[in-house]
């Protein structure tokens, strides 16, 4: 059974989907069940992936890592997302050469968690703020 906001990836073509309506069944792409991505929340290597949330004026800034993540042609952060306690979300898509960060118009108290997707190292999340 799939759950709201889960992220799945096709092992054949690389499609990534996020569940916006949970139900029964299995997500399938290219004739195979899609892989449920499990978000990591602890860095172990040189590159930093765990989202860092900072309060800023009327909103927040989410940075990828306490040391900025590389944003190169072959290795970059594809998107940063904030999930809200009330069920909403915000997402920003990034490209190589951009800063690995995103501003969102939400109060820190509204945030359930922040997460991001690295094209090489997968899905990462901040510690729960609930």
Tokens 């050469």 identify what position? Answer: 97
Q: Select which of 35, 40, 75, 110 is catalytic.
A: 75
Q: Select which of 49, 63, 81, 101 is catalytic.
A: 49
Q: Select which of 9, 10, 29, 48 is catalytic.
A: 48
Q: Select which of 9, 63, 69, 125 is catalytic.
A: 69
Is 49 designated active site? yes
Is 29 designated active site? no
3-class secondary-structure state, position 48: coil
Point out which residues pair with 16 in neighbouring strands: 9
Q: Select which of 35, 40, 110, 121 is catalytic.
A: 121
Q: Select which of 35, 40, 47, 92 is catalytic.
A: 47
Point out which residues pair with 33 in neighbouring strands: 28
Element counts in the chain: helices (H) and strands (E) = 0, 12
3-class secondary-structure state, position 59: strand
Q: Select which of 9, 81, 118, 125 is catalytic.
A: 118
3-class secondary-structure state, position 89: strand
3-class secondary-structure state, position 79: strand
Instruction: Find out whether 15 and 101 touch, Cβ atoms under 8 Å.
Output: no
Is 121 designated active site? yes
- Please identify every residue annotated as catalytic: 47-49, 69, 75, 118, 121
């Amino acid at each position: 059974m799939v759950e709201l906001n889960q992220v799945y990836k096709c092992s054949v073509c690389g499609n990534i989907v996020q569940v916006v309506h949970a139900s029964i069944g299995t997500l399938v792409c290219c004739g195979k069940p899609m892989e449920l991505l499990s978000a990591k929340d602890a860095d172990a290597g040189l590159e930093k992936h765990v989202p860092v949330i900072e309060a800023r004026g009327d909103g927040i800034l989410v940075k990828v890592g306490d040391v900025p993540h590389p944003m190169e042609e072959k290795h970059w952060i594809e998107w940063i997302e904030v999930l809200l306690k009330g069920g909403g979300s915000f997402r920003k898509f990034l490209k190589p050469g951009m800063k690995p960060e995103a501003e969102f118009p939400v109060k820190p108290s509204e945030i359930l968690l922040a997460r991001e997707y690295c094209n090489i190292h997968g899905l990462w999340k901040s510690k729960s703020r609930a």
